[in-house]
Structures are given as C-alpha cells and as structure tokens.
Amino acid sequence: MKKKQLKAIDFFCSIGGMTYGFRKAGIDVIAGIDVDLSCKETYEFNNPTSKFIEADIKDYSIEELKKETSIKRNDDNLIFIGCSPCQYWSIIKTDKTKSEETKNLISYFQKFIEYFKPGYVVVENVPGILRNADESGLNGFIQSLKNMEYTVIFDKLNANHYGVPQNRKRFVLIASRTNKKIELPKPQKNNPPILKNFIGKENGFKSISAGNKDNSDFMHTTANLSELNLERVRKTKHNGGTRLDWKNDDNLQLKCYINKDNSFKDIYGRMSWDKPSPTITTKFYSISNGRFVHPEEDRPISIREGATIQTFPKSYSFKEKSIGKVAKHIGNAVPPKLARKIAYNIINK
C-alpha cells in the first residue's frame, strides 16, 4: 500500500532513466517534463503510465503543472525529481557556450518545490554542481529546503556501487519534509559489476563490425570507421589496450599527441572485460571521444551496448533513428538501476 501511495513528477525527464527506475521500484511517476520533444516517443513508449509534458521549466508555470497533473500542495507522498542538464558543470573539456543557459536550472526547479512542498525531493547531477555550489545555485537550493524544514542529505556517489557496470560519479541529494531519518542508499563496494557481466556473446550480443546497421529495436548499431582508424583499432591490444600500443607507428600516431602520452589517455582505448567501463558519455559511439572500443572486436561499442552499460533493459526501445541523437539521450540519462536504488531507499525509509 505504501508503494502505491508514493507518486512522483520527473522534471528534466529526458528519455526516462529516472522514471523507469522509480516505476520499477513501485512508485507511480505521474509525468515527466522536458524541453526536448525528441525524447517524447521513447519516454512514453517505455513508460506508458507516465505522461510526457513538453515544456521549458524556465517558462512553465505552477498553474500549468497543477492543471496537467492534478497534484496538490503539501502532499507527503509526492516526490519531485530534478536531474537538470549538467554539461556546463561537467569536468569534460568541451565548449560550454551552448550549455551556459542551462547552468542554473536547479533554481527554476526550486520554485516548484517552494510552492508545492512535496514530501520528498531527489536531485542527481554531475559532481561539478557541488564544486561550484554558489555559482550553480546549489547552495541557495539547499538553504531553501532547510528553511522549509526539509531534512537534506547529499554526497558524491559512484554508480558502480549501485549495480551499474561503469565508473560514473554523480552528485545525489535526497530531502524529506516528513522523515528526519532519510538517508542515501548504501553502496555495495565489494564485487562491483563489471563489463563481462553485461555485454559480449554470453549476454546476447553477437559479433559485428564497425558500421553495422541494425534497424530492429535491439539497435546493435555501430559507427563506421575510416581505414586509418580501423588500423589503429586493430593494433590496439585486446582487453584494455590504449593508443600507446601504436604510438611508434608514424602512420598511426596522432600528431597532436606526440610526446604527450599522459594526455587524454583513454581516447582510442579498448574497454576491459574485468573492469567497469568508463563513464558512458553522449559521444560513446565515437572512439576519439574516450575509451569506447569494444574489448576484443575491432569497432566502437554499439548503441545497445552503451544502453546496457547504462542499465537500460534490452527491451527499452529508442525511437530516434540518428545514432548521435540516441547516444546523446542515453549518455545524458540517469542509469535506471541507480534510480531504482534511490527509489527503494525512499520506500524503505
């Protein structure tokens, strides 16, 4: 009965990683809100009991949210989830110009909390939002919660300690107006999940080549490689090899990395079967953007492999056809297993 009573609104829902995890834990996610309409079909297909609301939270009003969801103020069983876009605060060195306008979205999320005062608030973001707590608006957000007498706990967590086969460090906050004993889910640091438990032939992934096109819902699709990059991949040792394996080959060595063996060591590298993968980013289909070469096959990991490492089930159907757009959706998502652990923690407490 307690599970059925809990309900949630998923702000910045994207394709539904957090929604799916919360639903699987038994929480009724009434709606997900996102400005990116390209997420709608994937979100609603995989989360049929949750409504997708296309809206820019900067312009979306409290009255509109009340009308579309029928939620009430001061509902002890209501959860607000806010996983705002985090590229601006990421440590990944990319041009921040496009993401600058999204850097303070947590402050817009705050206005809905201050009005509705839900029983629980959940935030997931990159650790950079904590390192820049004043500029990101996080300090003001936390102080607002405390002023409303929420109990607030937060920390940096590694998703690998919560059932996810990748090293993915995240900032997670849980706040409760009704439960002073709320806490973060406990990490499982012994025997964390590793890559070979999730992908590979034993897990239903047949051997494929670079440039493979899979038009089925399984989407075992890979980006193509130039002949030069294919040769680089072939020369990279299986199960964890790096670009240093071919640094002395004048035809293969990247000129920008001559005498820079310690710079961006992961690019063009292979994943390792017996380790968690690196963080699945929005460019995980590209070998020049990280350690995204298959452990033994001469190709980038596929779209489905990236989704599986993010712990989306193999039945999760991605409705966009562009590799780049689907990879962006997957890389930006909250891993459903981490989401589920957070949801169970709220239920059990």
Residue 236 lies in a domain: no
Residue 7 lies in a domain: yes
User: What is the per-residue pLDDT for 84?
Assistant: 87
| Within a domain: 249 | no
pLDDT score for 204: 97
Whether 344 contacts 337, CB under 8 Å = no
HEC secondary structure over the chain: CHHHHCEEEEECCCCCHHHHHHHHHCCEEEEEEECCHHHHHHHHHHCCCCEEEECCCCCCCHHHHHHHHCCCCCCCCEEEEECCCCHHHCCCCCCCCCCHHHCCHHHHHHHHHHHHCCCEEEEEECCHHHHCCCCCCHHHHHHHHHHCCCEEEEEEEEHHHHCCCECCEEEEEEEECCCCCCCCCCCCCCCCCCHHHCCCHHHCCCCCCCCCCCCCCCCCCCCCCCHHHHHHHHHCCCCCCCHHHHCCCCCCCCHHHCCCCCCCCCCCCECCCCCCECCCCCCCCCHHHCCCECCCCCCECCHHHHHHHCCCCCCCCCCCCCHHHHHHHHHHCCCHHHHHHHHHHHHHC
Positions in the chain whose pLDDT score sits under 50: 1, 88-92, 96, 99-100, 102-103
Q: Answer yes or no: is 206 within a domain.
A: no
CA distances (Å), origin 135, targets 57, 85, 276: 19, 15, 32
The model's pLDDT over 20-55, given as tens digits with 9 standing for 90+, comes to: 999 999 999 999 999 999 999 999 999 999 999 999
Residue 71 backbone class (left: φ over 0; alpha: ψ -120 to 50; beta: rest): beta
Structure confidence at residue 265 (pLDDT): 87
Joined together, the tokens standing for residue 273 give 């079967």
* Residue with token string 């820079």: 260
Assigned domain for 218 exists = no
Q: Is 63 left (phi over 0), alpha (psi -120 to 50) or beta?
A: alpha
Active site residue 83: no
Quote the domain boundaries for residue 152.
2-188+335-348
Beta strands 28-34 and 78-82: pairing type? unpaired
CATH of the domain at 53: 3.40.50.150
Query: Residue 34 domain-assigned?
Result: yes
pLDDT value for 91: 46
In a domain, 29, yes or no: yes
Which entry of 13, 39, 83, 86 is annotated as an active-site residue? Answer: 86
Instruction: Locate 73 and state its tokens.
Output: 């103020």
Q: What is the pLDDT of residue 134?
A: 87
Q: Look-up: residue for tokens 């966009």?
A: 320
Q: How far apart are CA 325 and CA 37, in angstroms?
A: 12
Whether 83 is covered by a domain: the verdict is: yes
* All residues at 6 or more sequence positions from 54 whose CB lies less than 8 Å from its CB, including other chains: 34, 35, 37, 40
The predicted pLDDT at position 86 comes to 59
Q: How far apart are CA 340 and CA 312, in angstroms?
A: 11
Number of domains within the chain:
1
- Distance set, CA 145 to CA 18, 28, 44, 120, 176 (Å): 22, 23, 31, 10, 9
Residue 252 neighbours by CB under 8 Å, 6+ apart = 228, 231, 232, 235, 246
